[in-house]
Copies of this chain bind each other. A is one copy, B any other.
């Protein structure tokens, strides 16, 4: 959905990154340069460049002279990333409200309408992907490329795919979430940046709570990290 206009051949970086973010590789799994080189039929050199960049993105950890491992963010990092997610998406909502009519606004309208159907029908799988679309479209609609980049990096680090599946299992959460989406959309259309930002942040915060609570009892215990 995000590369519908043009799909240039995916970069080696993107291909390897998607192997990680898609969950194809388990966290902690070692990533050998030679095996990756063989798999993608290239030399070790371009593989190394990619791995260095993925380390910079926080997806993997290169232990010198030992090996490369898929990194799993600990609980503290997840909380930190969600704090960032909250303000970034809040900024996106505010910017979009200030911007006024744009193609992404129409897309949002469609997504919200469709997600209301699926959430009421209890189709959580469909709704989950529509949630992704909603947030991504909103960020795109902010018309701020640097925001888009930072947001993409953040979502990659979260390996968001791995988390969302859990968050919507809660009965009633999908319906609440859908209602919040509708509120945000209305405020954007009303050109209310402050309201849109505030509501968006509350929405992200609520979703975060839903996502973090079931894993441990205490919400933000920030236990020992590293």
Binding site for B on A (CB under 8 A): 45, 48-49, 52-53, 56-58, 77, 80-81, 83-84, 87-88, 90-91, 95, 144-147, 149-150, 154, 157
> Which residue from B48, B91, B144, B150 sits with its C-beta under 8 Å from A150?
B150
In the bound assembly, the distance between CA atoms of A154 and B91 in angstroms comes to: 16
Which residues on the B side are within 8 Å of A90 (C-beta)? 87
A and B contact pairs by CB, cutoff 8 A, 9 listed: A52-B53, A53-B53, A53-B56, A56-B57, A77-B146, A81-B146, A83-B95, A84-B91, A87-B87
Number of copies: 2
Residue among A58, A87, A95 with the highest chain B CB neighbour number at 10 A: A87
Q: Which B residues lie within 8 Å of A81 (CB)?
A: 146
**Residues on B with beta carbons closer than 8 Å to the beta carbon of A147:** 80, 83-84
Given contacts A56-B56, A87-B87, A90-B87, A80 and B145 within 8 Å (CB-CB) = yes
Task: State which of B52, B146, B157 has its C-beta within 8 Å of the C-beta of A52.
Answer: B52
Contacts A45-B45, A150-B150 hold; do A144 and B52 have CB atoms under 8 A apart? no
Task: Give, as a whole number of angstroms, the nearest-CB distance from A118 to chain B.
Answer: 31
How far does the Cβ of A97 sit from chain B's closest Cβ, in whole Å? 14
**Chain B hits for A53, CB < 8 A:** 52-53, 56
Chain B residues with CB under 8 A of A157: 146
Alpha-carbon distance between A157 and B150 when the two chains are bound, in angstroms: 12
| Interface hub of A146, A149, A150 (most chain B Cβ within 10 A) | A146
Within 8 Å by CB of A49, from B49, B84, B87, lies: B49
* Contact residues in B for A144 (Cβ distance below 8 Å): 80, 83-84
CA distance A81 to B48 in the complex (A): 30
CB distance from A72 to the nearest CB of B (A): 15
* A49 contacts across to B, CB distance below 8 A: 48-49, 52
